[in-house]
Structure 1
């Protein structure tokens, strides 16, 4: 099969686990109190890294029929990695690894891999159709440590070779996984062992590319003399050999091994502060393959590989730290990067923006995150506020009745009265927003914890943080400064907890509004370093105002998710009219409207006049009218000249 006909560039085979990364840095693993959960395992990390760099990758492995196995499969899909070869094992659990960052040289690991799912992979699990679709297959050393996984890896190599695909060998040597060290010595990288060397060398005749560190080359070549080890490897394979040398970059050997390492093709490393070496080798492999599988010059392959490794050593985690192609290009284009690469705000913003999950071409949201308004409504109709949570739970039913599980729909719900609905929404595919501001506060204050970061740390990762600010660009200096400090504090907290941020701006309560007001407010926040994922803005019937908003956002943040319109309790017909103007602006993705939809039903339900089903009927009908109005307005504006007038 010709390479151009293949559906995949790469299939990686082997370890797939949950990485539980200690969030405290600079101490013993024994003293770490919380852990971040990521997908991990060398071939899994490489598959993710390759996908982020634009390669079509897939993973062949087993995961447990458990929550963690499902997380791996779901996260791979979110990353764009094909899961055709991810098999569910009902008899075994998904493997776990606990990892820590002690100092620049010490990274403790504890592997929980006793009878784990990925080590049960066997030759019959290898899908020949999957491998026929791939331009290359990658195997790694850990999956040569037992007979069944060795046979599976060998079969995959043979199928690949038989179909004209290339074979990549990541030596990936962890002595503890071969039973050569105590279980608490997971970070140990080298123990000489003739049996391991003999086992690893069996696959060399099938390989087209072999990649490893000096320690890994030593075990594969059976010598602690690096040149001697390389020559022993060369005797068994004509493959391209790539020696990883950490901060010194790498050396590639396409032919005979020279008398000095530096006589190979040297890829210079990048000078950056080492924060975490774990995962850097997997990033190196992904970067190298991005060039090699597209037949780029070897120098370019090495440059991509070294850059990817440098980026990952500056971050927490393995798979989440992998750069995207756009991010890699930005890194390579700049010579002004800081030594502490994680202090490069522009690069970190690009990483965040290009690794966010999901795409939202439209977003239509039922906003029921109101708190003080519901309390006032209860007082008005004489209802017990304890009934509010039950009414808010009806919002999910109403949205689902309109959406039928389709993308592009969402809810805004609060944790005070909407928690039961938020919990139920976890089983649905809808966008979820959640407010953080104290209702009505000006200057802006936050609800719940005095420390907004500790509050966000208790929220599920898919909850978008929504913050309403009554903010006008002409506010008094001291008021404006206080609000801006709060917004910057919130953005910092949201990034550190991994939550997207929606900033809602209402200026009309605080001063005169013209065609430039919203754009000036947005520009001022951008100038301060704000880069929210979403904006929620007041409706306007001014095309000029929307053009100004669009130009401002595009000029400052090309990766902004977009804008949704708020309702301000406007009559339905007024909102529909505003849609006609806003729909011409490509960045406006939809609406997040509340009281226009729920006010009447809430009053009647809280007052005991209607039951749940009638309330859901009413909510769904009103929500559906706005959905249809938005879609009609958007459809009518496709190709409209104003739609392109935002640059």
Structure 2
């Protein structure tokens, strides 16, 4: 996504601000049937200009959004998601009197995409002229206006004011015709997918913005409504009479044509860029992706042919996937797609492209991560038995105290995190939802080998119950010299888990302990990592045993970078090592760039838990002791990290 830039006044300068619809899409997860028969829905941000804003940000533009959202859970979700995507939200107003817009969508077949809009008196349609901040427009180079926001007097006036301000300061105005007849009251509410109903009144309203436009983009049906004629060339000429703007006509699988001057008799005599031969899985959102790709080129003054190539490629990528905004390509993904010609027709079946899409669009960067791991279950069972004191309920309370200790040390710093389980740690996990820290959660049955998973027989079923910000952690006891049957059984389980994580949109942390089941040298863990990648498994994180020798870390880092240079990195586990031993391990690992920090448990909490469970220390004493132990390791990590950066 874009890196923010600032002007002389210190405010973020924007390449583009998109104006108009912002809502939540509930996308049916079942494909090939009626909307009536879909039983579960994925939640994404939506609305044409919002989708384009996300897509443009992922392509490297500095983008903002000008809209209204409700003062409700969905409105907060939109705002938070935009911020995670790098979209400036200074122009996003919260409307306390209206709800956030909602759309329910589905994929029935290659030609049918049922769509129901819930937009009666919704927040974004209450946008008014008073919401248009001249200072926001002044720090922006271009404005994107969509046709839906010309359909009612209030939003029409707001759109015209924003466009006039942009033109007055010498900026560029982009018009996405974005014609949905149902949003103009011209189709039955159940027919949200309808793309064309002729209307002289709509044509007249849309044409009023044309004198202000520098770029106009639409499908052939949208060109027809804007031009007021049913023949594409004739409609384009009618539009040309009202604007000197660059005209771009989207032609689906046939690509697009761009017309900078007079409209030719034959559209093939314009600037033509052919489309890409991919399967049409879901057309919804492809036009918004097209716009994002075109603007990435046009706002950077690329040749017109290049702008069209970016646009067609972005549309092809999104048309092959589920969803709109989350399907938008990153800049790295777009470059990879354009560099090759051998992609499968069913584009989403490319493991390489899908991984680059996933890895380059993850939210939040973690240049470092220090985690208190209290996801232990069997160890706490053993501790209760050993002490002859304490109850499972007390263990649950202790884990809540551990979260308090993280918060005391971190004080809101998102470089900290916590590993918590759903058995003893459920209440702590719930409390962590309101804090800004990284959250990991174990899925494995403690001590199982071959690996088994907690919860439902189908691990994907279990993960669908987890909040999306929970990172799936799996500890596997894996040695490269295990017998073939053991390796095969473990591999099958890890493949199931990786597929489930991607299907449910959860990040995946794979913890490897090799030392308990065979001799270990400087190549052992690297050999395991090499094998895991050869299976087609790409963990977002690795959690590895501490080692105090550089050859081990050289081999590990080389193995990861050979397969996945986009990996988030490595965190060290503790294996109950004494503090001084662990501090030495941190110092040894810190010089290696992929090592991001640690996720340590018993070294930090074991003695404190024993004292608390036997009544030697109280709640405040436990929090203080846990915080101090975490602070010592965190300070040591940062000292070692600073030494690495200085070197």
TM-score by length of 2: 0.98
Displacement of 1:610 in angstroms is 2.0
Residue 284 of structure 1 pairs with residue 299 of structure 2: no
| Aligned-residue RMSD, C-alpha | 1.0
Name 1:168's counterpart in structure 2: 174
Residue 517 of structure 2 aligns to a residue whose secondary structure is coil
- C-alpha separation between the residues in 1 aligned to 2:161 and 2:628? 57
Residue 233 of structure 1 pairs with residue 256 of structure 2: no
- C-alpha separation between the residues in 2 aligned to 1:386 and 1:120? 50
- C-alpha separation between the residues in 1 aligned to 2:497 and 2:20? 40
- C-alpha separation between the residues in 1 aligned to 2:194 and 2:644? 61
Name 1:247's counterpart in structure 2: 253
Name 1:645's counterpart in structure 2: none
Name 1:583's counterpart in structure 2: 590
Name 1:554's counterpart in structure 2: 561
- C-alpha separation between the residues in 1 aligned to 2:294 and 2:41? 30
Name 1:329's counterpart in structure 2: 335
> Unaligned 5+ residue runs, structure 1?
641-647
Displacement of 1:385 in angstroms is 2.3
- C-alpha separation between the residues in 1 aligned to 2:486 and 2:401? 38
Name 1:196's counterpart in structure 2: 202
Residue 359 of structure 1 pairs with residue 378 of structure 2: no
Displacement of 1:608 in angstroms is 2.5
Displacement of 1:384 in angstroms is 2.1
Displacement of 1:427 in angstroms is 0.3
Displacement of 1:639 in angstroms is 4.1
Name 1:28's counterpart in structure 2: 34
Displacement of 1:322 in angstroms is 0.2
1:56-82 Cα offsets, whole Å, 9 max, x none, are 000000000111001000000000000
Match of 2:515 among 481, 503, 508: 508
TM-score by length of 1: 0.98
Name 1:59's counterpart in structure 2: 65
Residue 270 of structure 1 pairs with residue 259 of structure 2: no
Residue 440 of structure 1 pairs with residue 461 of structure 2: no
1:295-349 Cα offsets, whole Å, 9 max, x none, are 1100000000000000000000000000001000000001110000000110000
1:530-609 map, 5 Å: 530-609=537-616
Name 1:627's counterpart in structure 2: 634
Name 1:644's counterpart in structure 2: none
Name 2:384's counterpart in structure 1: 378
- C-alpha separation between the residues in 2 aligned to 1:486 and 1:147? 58
1:108-507 map, 5 Å: 108-382=114-388, 383-507=390-514
1:230-278 Cα offsets, whole Å, 9 max, x none, are 1110110011100000000001111111111211111100000000000
- C-alpha separation between the residues in 2 aligned to 1:465 and 1:325? 27
- C-alpha separation between the residues in 2 aligned to 1:50 and 1:481? 43
Residue 82 of structure 1 aligns to a residue whose secondary structure is coil
Name 2:3's counterpart in structure 1: none
- C-alpha separation between the residues in 1 aligned to 2:640 and 2:646? 12
Displacement of 1:4 in angstroms is 9.2
Residue 91 of structure 2 aligns to a residue whose secondary structure is strand
Displacement of 1:602 in angstroms is 0.9
Displacement of 1:158 in angstroms is 0.4
- C-alpha separation between the residues in 2 aligned to 1:238 and 1:384? 76
Displacement of 1:133 in angstroms is 1.0
Displacement of 1:611 in angstroms is 1.5
- C-alpha separation between the residues in 1 aligned to 2:646 and 2:479? 33
